[in-house]
């Protein structure tokens, strides 16, 4: 591969808009759009819709499905979620690229981390500046540039911006699955590491909520008439924790135990919340069976247990399609003087969903940064243009056929 004059037009288009690409991400990061902040999500969706209207594409809001959540009191509730934003160009084209991102963040509405500042070393520090409002700006910049490519008619593209990635995509998962099944290549804009390294193989992840019910009683007068749900939950949690180290690559993180009340009352309710990570399908099946074996053996009489949740994202191994795609991205980056490398990650994202649906994808095409999910989150300003140029050139090479999207899709289907 080499950079063609038409490629250079797209690259120059990105470079000329550096201030705008960075500036809109900074503006967006000033909007608190935590996953459960309905007002902030609505405001962020309005701004993204306005920005998307600049593209020669159809822009529409897509309703997402409701999900269930478990309260600290053990009650199961139905939860509504904000709309996703779908942007579509040339859906009839022979090659279809799926680009995804999320506009929610992990920061609650009352977080003290609400604005973007510039650190002494030049990095931008702000909520979502890397994860992933910066990535969304990079994505849109790459598409704006790609629309100058003479071969663009060969490629259709669909963007899905979801409101719930940071809580496991319970509302947008069906939308991701549908797009993944219909597309040929996926591009997702989670941040890369600070040195530009991409996430290669990803583990799978599951979120579980174990509702433990007991029997209340007076702790002094009638202690033995009760069944202590908190004590039972603690014993079960210890059993779950003991699964660590029993199978290579599998981890169980007991994140929270809630329940009970006054000190003189035997607790009649508790909830154990835990996350599991698995390297492959066999490990996923193993942990599911192990969890059910633990909860089937109740610690003492009088307790009942109900398990909610499950595997939310399947593992994403470096199969033949993933390897070929990453090598193509590496070669494309080399044309720009960018060194593209990758390594396994225990983290999960929408790339897991897309891969499970049959779509080879690279899911860390966003800005270079780090310390995400903390008030130290940062992104390097120079990486906005650098990464937008990489994505624009990838799209141009897909359109020219130098990156063979149809072959990559075929390789993925062979492993399903």
Domain boundaries, the chain: 5-203+315-414, 211-313
CA atoms within 13 A on the CB side of 399: 24
pLDDT in tens, 262-276: 999 999 999 999 999
Residue 303 has a pLDDT of 98
Percent of the chain with pLDDT over 90: 98
Residue 62: band (very low, low, confident or very high) from pLDDT cuts 50, 70, 90: very high
202-252 per-position pLDDT tens digit: 999 999 999 999 999 999 999 999 999 999 999 999 999 999 999 999 999
DSSP string, 347-407: ---HHHHHHHTT--EE-B-S-BEE-TTSTT-EE-THHHHHHHHHHHHHHHHHHHTSS-HHH
User: Average pLDDT of the chain?
Assistant: 97
pLDDT of residue 1 exceeding 90? no
β-sheet bridge partners, residue 308: 209
Percentage of the chain beyond pLDDT 70 is 100
pLDDT class for 416, splitting at 50, 70, 90? confident
CA distances from 283 to 210, 241, 261, 297, 320 (A): 20, 16, 37, 22, 21
pLDDT on residue 38: 97
Q: What pLDDT score does 194 carry?
A: 84
Residue 300: pLDDT over 90: yes
Q: CA 164, 168, 172 angle in degrees (round to 5)?
A: 50
Cα separation, 55 vs 143, in Å, equals: 8
User: Helix count (H) and strand count (E) of the chain?
Assistant: 11, 20
Q: Average the pLDDT over 70-94 and give the result.
A: 96
Beta bridge partners of 209: 273, 308
- Classified by CATH at the fold level, domain 211-313 comes out as Alpha-Beta Plaits (3.30.70)
| CA-only gyration radius of the chain, Å | 23
* Residue 319, pLDDT score: 96
For 334, phi then psi, to 5°, come to -60, -35
The full DSSP string for 172-207 is THHHHHHHHHH-SEEEEBPPBPTT-PEEEEE-EEEE
E strand or H helix at 250: none
Q: What is the pLDDT of residues 348-369, one digit of tens each?
A: 999 999 999 999 999 999 999 9
Domain at 5-203+315-414: CATH architecture: 3-Layer(aba) Sandwich (3.40)
Token pair, residue 219, equals 């702790």
């Amino acid at each position: 591969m080499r950079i063609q004059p038409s490629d250079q037009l797209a690259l120059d288009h990105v470079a000329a808009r550096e201030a705008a690409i960075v500036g809109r991400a900074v503006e967006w990061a000033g909007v608190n759009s935590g996953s459960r902040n309905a007002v902030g999500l609505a405001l962020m969706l309005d701004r993204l819709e306005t920005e998307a209207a600049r593209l020669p594409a159809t822009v529409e809001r897509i309703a997402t499905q409701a999900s269930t959540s478990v309260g600290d009191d053990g009650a199961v509730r139905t939860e509504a979620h904000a709309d996703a934003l779908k942007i579509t160009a040339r859906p009839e084209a022979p090659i279809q690229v799926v680009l995804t991102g999320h506009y929610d963040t992990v920061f609650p509405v009352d977080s003290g981390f609400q604005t973007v500042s510039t650190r002494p070393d030049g990095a931008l520090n702000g909520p979502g500046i890397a994860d992933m409002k910066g990535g969304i700006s990079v994505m849109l910049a790459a598409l704006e540039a790609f629309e100058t490519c003479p071969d663009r008619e060969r490629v259709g593209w669909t963007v899905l911006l979801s409101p719930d990635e940071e809580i496991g995509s319970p509302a947008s998962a069906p939308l991701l699955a549908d797009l993944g099944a219909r597309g040929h290549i996926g591009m997702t804009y989670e941040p890369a590491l600070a040195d530009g390294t991409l996430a290669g193989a990803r583990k799978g992840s599951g979120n579980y909520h174990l509702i433990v019910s007991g029997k209340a009683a007076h702790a002094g007068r009638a202690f033995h008439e009760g069944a202590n749900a908190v004590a039972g939950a603690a014993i079960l949690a210890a059993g779950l924790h003991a699964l660590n180290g029993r199978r290579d690559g599998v981890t169980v993180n007991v994140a929270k135990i809630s329940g009970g009340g006054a000190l003189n009352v035997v607790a009649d309710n508790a909830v154990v919340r835990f996350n599991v990570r698995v390297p492959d399908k066999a490990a996923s099946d193993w942990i599911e069976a192990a969890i059910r074996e633990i909860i089937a053996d109740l610690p003492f009489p009088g307790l009942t247990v109900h398990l909610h949740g499950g595997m939310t994202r399947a593992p994403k191994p470096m199969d033949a399609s993933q390897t070929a795609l990453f090598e193509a991205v590496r070669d494309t980056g080399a044309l720009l003087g960018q060194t593209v490398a990758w390594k396994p990650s225990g983290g999960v994202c929408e790339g897991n969903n897309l891969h499970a649906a049959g779509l080879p994808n690279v899911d860390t095409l966003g800005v270079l940064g780090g310390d995400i999910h903390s008030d130290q989150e940062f992104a390097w300003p120079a990486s906005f243009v650098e990464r937008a140029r990489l994505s624009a050139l990838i799209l141009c090479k897909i359109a020219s056929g130098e990156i063979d999207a149809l072959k990559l899709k075929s390789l993925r289907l062979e492993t399903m």
